[in-house]
Amino acid sequence: MADLSELLMVEHSAIRLLAKVSYGKDSLDIFEDFNDYLVKDHVEVEERILFPAIMDFEWEDRNEFEKTVNRIKADHKLIEALANNLIKWKRSGDEDLFKLRLPLFYKTLTEHNLSEEDQIFPRWKRIDDEVRNSTLCEALNLIEETGIERYSRNTGISKEFIAYIDPKNSAGKPQNFGPHE
């Protein structure tokens, strides 16, 4: 059975692929759509679901690990600020600054994601199966609430894949997520 950290790592892989083509470099709409997915889905799942669950565990190095999680959260704010600046520059017609800083955005985001994969996600396997199952359900509910269409557009993860990994869907059949956008 898939778990939340595996879903997030699949999203990280999609982001790495998008970064290689500087996703959204020619279209503000595409970049804003990606940023909405990033803030409302990916970061929200990590901060509202994954981090509290993983911090609830009694780690031997709890103080150091808490510092790591807090640094990761600070990275989220840095990445969001950079994205907001990119949007502001693009809207104001400062194409040169937008194009100059877009690679920095993706480099920062990619390095941040690799840091999570190295320092956070490996610990997830030590979390109780019941918690891992419930957090995946919670994340999938959030994705459904915020819009499966945008999520799929920005990750390449299909509705069918989501239905397959959804612990509530024992048959693995696609669910009717309904229109969201």
Quick one: 124 exposed, middle or buried, by C-beta within 10 A (0-12, 13-18, 19+)?
buried
The pair of three-digit structure tokens given for residue 173, joined into one six-digit string: 């059949």
95-149 tens-digit pLDDT: 999 999 999 999 999 999 999 999 999 999 999 999 999 999 999 999 999 999 9
Alpha-helical regions (H) of 38-147:
44-45, 51-55, 62-91, 95-119, 129-146
**128 C-beta neighbours (distance < 10 Å), count:** 11
| pLDDT value for 122 | 96
Mean pLDDT computed over every residue of the chain? 91
What local confidence, expressed as pLDDT, does residue 1 receive?
62
Contact 34, 154 (CB under 8 A): yes
Question: What is the domain partition of the chain in residue ranges?
Answer: 4-165
Q: What is the DSSP string of 125-156?
A: GGS-HHHHHHHHHHHHHHHHHH-HHHHHHHH-
**CA atoms of 25 and 4, how far apart (whole Å):** 30
The Cβ-side half-sphere exposure at 8, using a 13 Å CA radius, reads 30
More confident of the two residues 45 and 170: 45
The full length of the chain comes to 181
Give this prediction's pTM.
0.88
Tokens of 15: 């982001």
pLDDT tens column, 1-34: 689 999 999 999 999 998 888 788 888 999 999 9
